Amino acid sequence: MEHHGHDGLTKSGAVAACTAMAVFYVAILYSPTLLLRLAQPTSFKSFLMRRFLCSAISSIVSVVFCSLILSISKLDASLLFGVYGIRLDHIWQALIYPVSLTSCMYIGSFALNLFSVLEARNEYLNTGGNPLHFYKTYLQRFISQAVSAISSISCWRNYFVAPLSEELVFRACMIPLLLCGGFSTYIVIILCPTFFSLAHLNHFLEFYVREDFTFLKACSVVGFQLGYTVIFGAYASFLLIRTGHLAAPLAAHIFCNFMGLPTTFSRRSGMSDSGFCQLL
């Protein structure tokens, strides 16, 4: 007989609930016309706006679904937010520590960028340029890029909507279910990323059908994506369980989306970077 966790939730029941949320998240993103009767997008902006709506609906449904399974009453609003890691106490620690820890794996990227700036500065100075003018121009360029990014809908997807919805569904909702289902903390850290990584299998069809990749190439690309989504998912799960804050994995997710994959290859130095994979 299967062991029952908190509130009579079994391990198989918790896994089934997490699977259902993962399937629903992907299904509503890729079949909004069928599920929500939404009109076909007429532009890239309308396409992303439609996806924003789908992710919001999926997140709300998952939160409600999770609260019903865990038998959290409507009167326990503070308890409900606490279960999902939505808290204000120790918020700065939950933001600063995870970002500082995550930045350690980008030391190579930081070093490469620093060397690039120093090389550009030296070339500028060798032509008789003013070093203050160089730094002023570099700062103005950085500010201009930041302002341009804020006004870009793609940046809103990468740095706000996608991280928030994915962390809410795949971490804040699934981890309490798995813990209450009777799984140990260590098993949850390993098991929870499985749902997150398997949800990326839809990319196989995109590469194989739309991008016209060969079967082997599509398998290798998706396999690589599954590998690092499992690693990141385990790390994000650890952050949420360790801190009790949804802000911790959310900050790490946003930071990784901004940085992309750690630097691995470039034409000059043999290193480069690649974008971080996401569902939305």
Pair 245, 126: CB distance under 8 Å:
no
Residue 150: in which H helix or E strand, if any?
helix 131-150
Is 2 catalytic? The answer is no
Catalytic residue among 166, 167, 245, 253: 166
- At residue 250, φ and ψ (nearest 5 deg) are -65, -45
Chain centroid to CA 260: 11
For residue 135, what are its two tokens? Answer: 């730094």
- Rounded Cα gap, residues 82 and 78, in angstroms: 6
Sign of CA dihedral 170, 173, 177, 178: positive
Task: Report how many helices (DSSP H) and strands (DSSP E) the chain contains, helices first.
Answer: 14, 0
- At residue 139, φ and ψ (nearest 5 deg) are -65, -45
Pair 22, 198: CB distance under 8 Å:
yes
- What region, left, alpha or beta, does residue 39 occupy, with left being phi > 0 and alpha being psi -120 to 50 degrees? beta
Per DSSP, the three-state class of 154 is helix
| Closest by CA position to 164, among listed 227, 231, 262, 84 | 84
DSSP 10-29: BHHHHHHHHHHHHHHHHHHH
Catalytic residue among 4, 6, 200, 203: 200
Exposure of 206 in the CB half-sphere (CA atoms within 13 A): 8
Is 133 catalytic? The answer is no
| Closest by CA position to 278, among listed 158, 172, 170, 171 | 158
Active site amino acids: 166, 200
